[in-house]
Chain A
Amino acid sequence: MIYFNNVSKVYPKDSPSLENVTLTVFAGEFVSIVGHSGAGKTTLVKLILAEEKPTDGSVFFESVDIHKLNSKEITKLRRKIGVVFQDFRLLPNKTAYENIAFAMEAAGKIDEEILSDVPHVLELVDLGNKSNHFPHQLSGGERQRLAIARAIINQPEIIIADEPTGNLDPVSTHEVVEILKRINELGTTVILTTHNRGVIDAIGKRVVTLEKGKVVRDDKNGKYII
């Protein structure tokens, strides 16, 4: 589904952020990408989202080279990917309901669909009673659940969660991990980047370890080993 073909990324005046990475993520997999800060996890995510271009190599989504797409095609590609960030990246001027509705509007969904699906997904992440709250009125855990709700609303083929538990307390972390596991069980591919040992051990699925921009381990039922 996602294929990194000998990908390198070098930022100007910097050491390589990724170096000759070759990696395949299959449909329906739950892949955790682990590594210290600066190992290249976020760069990997940015390359999938076409936020950055590789210095060398290619990144494929299914059979399409992501970085050969024009901006309209990238927009369409992003609708197939749900993203969750450590800093939530919610729209601060929109309520919980509107944050999710915006993603549906962007995907060209009709009003009736929005009216029926948004309350449903809010219930799913246990925010049914907070649909009119703005992000600043929600706790960290609630914000992240809202971000997950936004990521899954358009039933994307893949969910990318970049350090989603980085700013959360243990209880919220557990909740977020459970939601991601449930999403994966329903057939959606999940790529999770983290450096939280507890999270990796709780998931017990494939673990790819990055170190200084290189893939150093790829374990099918991995544990956090660095």
Chain B
Amino acid sequence: MLWTDTKRIIRSGWKNFKRSGATSLASVLVMTITISVITTLIFLQAVLTSSLSGLQKKIDVTVYFTTDASETQILSLKSNLEKLGEVASVAYTPEDQVLQDFRDRHKDDSLIIQALDEVGTNPFGAVMNIKAKDPTQYESIVGVLDNDSSLAKDGTHIIDKIDYTQNKFVIDRLNAITKGAHALGFAVTLILVLISIIITFNTIRLTIFMSREEIGVMRLVGAENKHITGPYMIAGIIYGIIASVATMVIFVPITLWLGKNFSDFLGINAFNYFTGSFFQIFSIALLSGVLIGIISSYLAIRKYLKK
């Protein structure tokens, strides 16, 4: 009997949906807008994350070694650093390369080149560039560098300078911005999604309000609540499925256009992101649509089922 009931409820829900024409269309349209808002917010979060991680990638700490620091010591330090969980990458530039880079950079400035030639020896020490996995971890990495006893040669420290202190303000500020942006993004997402859900709920409520006499008749012929609510909830599911598919169809040309024209501005190629994450985006859209449809229908019909 359970299967027979389920079959009848699904069939009846589908017929209700088909026969309600304009009302069903209105519900699907409103739900498409809701799911589009949700999908747009997924994109905005991706753009925000990409922009912030782009900014974070630009942060690093540069360690300048003294000219008498031996390569063995530096390479040992590099290998120690690479073992640290917080460190994403370590790039070592030997002193000769630093000199060469300096010369290349100032090749058009004869005065500097001439001054460098007059010094005779290489005035630059080796340089090591450290990137952390998370910008908040620079402080602890710098702490390791400051306290590592292997860095001393005959009681003299081989590190000349670490530019963390100069950059600390920028790094801290960026950390604050990242946290703030994520929190704000989440809050805005939540508010917009809530507004969309309320609008959809009201549309579905209106649809069911129009059927209130029909619901009364069903009760009078002795229909159980499941026979009354079931078809409306099925119609809600159908709104969700159609609206999520429609949203995906709408987003193909939009993301294609954004990908062609605004990849640099957004920091991601919207179309590549859309196709790459299609399964996840579609799942979220479908799940949101179906849940909003079911819950809205159930809440809207509940008040007509009271004795």
Q: Which residues of A contact B (CB under 8 A)?
A: 49-51, 71-72, 74-79, 83, 89-94, 98, 102-103, 105-108, 110-111, 150, 154
B223 CB contacts on chain A under 8 angstroms: 75, 102, 105-106
Size category of the B interface is 20 to 34
Question: How many Å lie between the Cα of A74 and that of B220 in the bound state?
Answer: 10
Mark out the residues of chain B between 213 and 255 whose CB falls within 8 Å of any chain A CB in the assembled complex.
Answer: 213-214, 216-224, 227
Q: Which residues of B contact A (CB under 8 A)?
A: 1, 4, 8, 12, 15-16, 19-20, 213-214, 216-224, 227, 307
A49 CB contacts on chain B under 8 angstroms: 220
A-B contact pairs, 13 of them (CB 8 A): A51-B220, A75-B223, A76-B222, A78-B220, A79-B222, A83-B220, A91-B218, A92-B214, A93-B16, A102-B221, A106-B221, A106-B227, A107-B222
Question: How many Å lie between the Cα of A157 and that of B227 in the bound state?
Answer: 23
Having A91-B214, A93-B15, A102-B12, one finds 17 other A-B pairs with CB under 8 Å, namely A51-B220, A74-B307, A78-B219, A78-B220, A79-B221, A89-B213, A93-B19, A93-B20, A94-B15, A98-B15, A102-B218, A102-B221, A103-B221, A105-B227, A106-B227, A108-B1, A110-B4
A89 contacts which of B220, B222, B227, B307 (Cβ < 8 Å)?
B220
Say what secondary structure dominates the interface of chain B: helix
Contact A78 B16, CB 8 Å, known A90-B217, A91-B214: no
A90 CB contacts on chain B under 8 angstroms: 217
Question: How many Å lie between the Cα of A114 and that of B234 in the bound state?
Answer: 23
Q: In angstroms, how far is the closest chain B Cβ from the Cβ of A49?
A: 6
Q: What total of A-B pairs shows CB separation below 8 Å?
A: 57
B221 CB contacts on chain A under 8 angstroms: 78-79, 83, 102-103, 106, 150
Question: How many Å lie between the Cα of A111 and that of B5 in the bound state?
Answer: 10
Q: In angstroms, how far is the closest chain A Cβ from the Cβ of B86?
A: 63
